[in-house]
Amino acid sequence: MKNIFNVLLIALLCSAMASYAQINPWLIKADKIDLQNYYGISIANGIIGVTSAPEPFKVKSTVLAGAYDSYGRGRVSNFINSINLLNLSFSVNGQNVSEKNIQRFNQELNMKKGSFHSSFDFGTKASVSYTYYALRHLPYSVMLDVTVTAHEDLEISAAGIMESPDALREVQNYYSEINRSHVKAGLLSSTAKSPTGKINIAASSTFIFEEPKASQPEMSHASYDHNRHSMRFNKKLKGGSTYRFSLAGTLLSSSHHPDPLNEAERLTLFAKLEGRERLLMKHHQAWDELWESDIILEGDDQAQQDIHSMMYHLYSFSREGSEYSLSPMGLSGLGYNGHVFWDTDIWMMPPLLLLRPELAKPMLNYRFNRLEAAKKNAFEHGYKGAMYPWESADSGMEETPVWALSGPFEHHITGCVAFAAWNYYCVTRDQEWLKEKGWPMIAATADFWTSRVERNGPGKYDIKNVVAADEWAENVDNNAFTNAVAKSNLEIAVKAAALLNLIANPEWSLVARNIPILQFPDGVTKEHASYAGEPIKQADVNLLAYPLKVVTAPDQIRRDLNYYQGRVPAANTPAMTQAIFALLHARTGDAAQAAHYFNDAYLPNLNPPFRVIAETKGGTNPYFATGAGGVLQAVMMGFGGLDITDEGIKKLKSVMPVHWKKLTLKGIGPEKKQYIITLKEKGPF
């Protein structure tokens, strides 16, 4: 009996270890690649985003932050599908490698190292592995690193292919060689104009070899058509030997540098002479530094992996010092045209602000740099101050397609910008930034609301004719979230003025006191003046409890939760809504409901093979970074109880899912504090 027990115990332990191995906290693996059911993962460094493909040595797309032009999508500016510089043609003994003639093909995302790795066998002749990097320390540079193990004598041929998408104009292809006593470099380069000719785009790539110059392979150049060319080398390998080479490249535009072609080639040569080892060392150092701020969960291995994936995407889509903001789909593709919405200010920035404040700062500087455009927008609509556009791109003017009424009417974005600016100050205590950049935004947006309200008698300063945060409610009056964020904006302006010893506009306090928050007769907060219980697209009223904290009484929070969580349909709603429900249930003490909505916020939105999040349940438009930001707030501000207050980061009472053993929030805020949460209280607080 004892022996049987030991056998069973060993079997259980082996099973548990196997299960853990399958759910690695840092690696997301795809052992079976299905070309018909494949949603790529992104490798990005905050400027360049490269999305994976299901074929060997291929990438789906390359996106460059800050490069916008119009090419027929809604008559507004769009992210440009940029020059693809990392595809490789690879052959063994003259036979081209494809998904049809390889075995044991697998791919994996290493979130810890910021890399995307693939491997396969080419029959019995060779084993091949390769890894893509968007180099974290070099904003415009990427690298493909290849290792070939020959199982018999053979010859490989590798061609770096550069291809310009059809939408780009006036493509010019170049090939040149740099030859010095110590180095030889073939440079494959392309330039193109954006669809309207507004900007110039340039890319350059080169091979990096490990052997001395004299024994490095010779290069040959080939042109296929006007927008595609390559550089190729051949190499004979002995059986049992391993050969390694890299393809490094640079991509930038005239939005980033006045001379993009020459600079792309200079930066490519810089990467060449840095060499593979130094490039990887610095890349890994940069990612190690990012992960000093981490979320560590014990008790749910799958949730831990998913949380790391969400963090990885927000980290990889943002960059210190760039002064770019985040689009809902980050750098994963052309979703939402690469435009900037409230998704940044309310959903993606807060977790980054707590984890890595230096990554949140560029998003606010992006808004400051477009303050004058926001003032022009207010002027055009007959208002004072600054009115931020619902969709923003490069210029800061309104970029919403005309068919979407959110452009002229979704005004809550203006309050969201001010709210984010104040939160940045609250966390960093950077008074110099507040005075120089935060205050001008906060004051100008407060002035907007004093001109936006309609004074309809004592105590009744209405905000009429808006698209609500619940975007299914169009052209309604006194929307709960719009009114509440306007009040918050005005109150923030008063506080900021006092802090900076400046004179506040007396209208700010007066208007803030008189903006109504409507209620039903039973005390439930009413979404807008004509709301009668219709289905809602996303959280609106519930945002008054968090993040705005206009509603603070626990009974009121629960009353609003109970009412509105039943108004959200099962489909076609964005992931952030359920994340807010999870957060509020955690703060009000209902662990079971918090766990339910945490899972419901993203699990039905996942797509194979890398569990990438789509915007809606069953959706297929990943990666939805906005949803990741919402779920991370549920973890950090809900289960973790962290709260951004006027006095800085505070810890509130909260509950976690009952099967979670411990939650560690590491490297939080400028002081890099650590919070350990083990509380599992049940029932209402």
Length of the chain: 685
- Cβ–Cβ contacts within 10 Å for residue 657, how many? 21
Contact criterion met (CB below 8 Å) for 142 and 248: yes
Contact criterion met (CB below 8 Å) for 589 and 685: yes
- d(C-alpha 551, C-alpha 621), whole Å: 34
- d(C-alpha 350, C-alpha 424), whole Å: 9
- Is 471 designated active site? yes
- d(C-alpha 30, C-alpha 10), whole Å: 28
Contact criterion met (CB below 8 Å) for 230 and 222: yes
Extract the tokens encoding 104.
Answer: 């044991």
Side by side, which strands form the sheet with 59-69? 42-44, 48-52, 59-69, 78-81
- d(C-alpha 260, C-alpha 192), whole Å: 10
Which residues 6+ apart lie within 8 Å of 418 measured at CB? 441, 442, 445, 446, 488, 489, 492, 493
Contact criterion met (CB below 8 Å) for 421 and 489: no
- d(C-alpha 391, C-alpha 581), whole Å: 26
- d(C-alpha 363, C-alpha 190), whole Å: 31
Provide the b/e sequence for 278-310 (b: ≥16 CB within 10 Å).
Answer: ebbeebbebbeebbebbbebeebeebbbbbbbb
Extract the tokens encoding 28.
Answer: 């997301």
Among 471, 474, 491, 507, the active-site one is 471
Q: Which of 345, 363, 362, 461 is nearest to 410 (CA)?
A: 345
- State the virtual CA torsion across 631, 632, 638, 642 in degrees, nearest 10: -160
Distances (CA, A) of 350 to 423, 463, 635: 8, 27, 12
DSSP 348: I
- d(C-alpha 50, C-alpha 63), whole Å: 7
- Is 615 designated active site? yes
Phi, psi of 261 (to 5 degrees): -65, -55
Q: Looking at the DSSP assignment, which residues form a beta bridge with residue 221? A: 231
Extract the tokens encoding 461.
Answer: 């300063």
Q: If DSSP codes are grouped into helix, strand and coil, which group holds residue 247?
A: strand
Q: Which amino acid is at 572?
A: N
Contact criterion met (CB below 8 Å) for 652 and 641: yes
Which residues 6+ apart lie within 8 Å of 680 measured at CB? 591, 655, 656, 658, 660
Catalytic residue ranges: 471, 615
